[in-house]
Chains A and B, each alone.
Chain A
Amino acid sequence: GAGVSQTPSNKVTEKGKYVELRCDPISGHTALYWYRQSLGQGPEFLIYFQGTGAADDSGLPNDRFFAVRPEGSVSTLKIQRTERGDSAVYLCASSTNRGSSYNEQFFGPGTRLTVL
């Protein structure tokens, strides 16, 4: 079956602009995660959804970052007034969370965001 997909694969924007990054999880996965990976670093957690609700948004760096998952499937990460420091690869992951809470997360290929 299809894996996690993310669009666009690359996004170049100018400082101060607004961007939206989309994640389409594996069908039937109720849990969805966003991570950010800077060059030479491991992924850092941003936000977690269980169904439609954000169960943990403790990783969002500031109020310029926001994410939604209105129908419990596709999620959109929104970044307002982008800054050069936002440049990174944004990764999305999903998991079943059915039964065991220890299921592995399946990652998408990421969106590379470059803020000029």
Chain B
Amino acid sequence: AQSVAQPEDQVNVAEGNPLTVKCTYSVSGNPYLFWYVQYPNRGLQFLLKYITGDNLVKGSYGFEAEFNKSQTSFHLKKPSALVSDSALYFCAVRVPPIYNQGGKLIFGQGTELSVKP
């Protein structure tokens, strides 16, 4: 079965410092991994994805994520946090698509990121 774990309910970071939001996964076969961000009263916004290729994936708003197969992790990172990055972050794994199925997303429970000035 596919599953995703986000071990931290909340991450607190000072503005300008680097941030990391952790994600580990369990999948059968090759993992297809995604990060989404959710601002209050708004829908989920896509940040980045890993399908294959380079382990370091760059995405929107200066975010990047590092895929580590041996540790089954896909941590989200940003070199310098902004107050406006404060939001709820979700890691997700896509169920490997088979013919005529599109691959539903399995989400982690989310991590609340708080960036203080």
From B43, B100, B107, B108, give the contact of A55 (CB < 8 A): B100
Q: In whole angstroms, how far apart are the Cα atoms of A40 and B112 in the complex?
A: 10
Q: In whole angstroms, how far apart are the Cα atoms of A48 and B105 in the complex?
A: 10
**Nearest chain A residue, comparing its CB with the CB of B9:** A40
Interface size class of B (residues with CB under 8 A): 20 to 34
Say yes or no: B44 contacts A102, CB within 8 Å.
no
From A43, A44, A107, give the contact of B45 (CB < 8 A): A107
CB distance from B38 to the nearest CB of A (A): 9
Is A95 positioned at the interface, with any CB of B under 8 Å from its CB?
yes
**Nearest chain B residue, comparing its CB with the CB of A110:** B43
Is B69 positioned at the interface, with any CB of A under 8 Å from its CB?
no
CB distance from A42 to the nearest CB of B (A): 3
Q: Per-residue CB proximity of B86-110 to A under 8 Å, as 1/0?
A: 0000101010010011111111111
Interface residues of B (CB under 8 A from A): 4, 32, 34, 36, 41-46, 49, 51, 90, 92, 94, 97, 100-110
- 13 contacts across the A-B interface (CB closer than 8 A): A40-B109, A43-B44, A43-B90, A44-B107, A56-B104, A59-B104, A91-B43, A102-B49, A105-B46, A107-B43, A109-B41, A109-B42, A110-B43
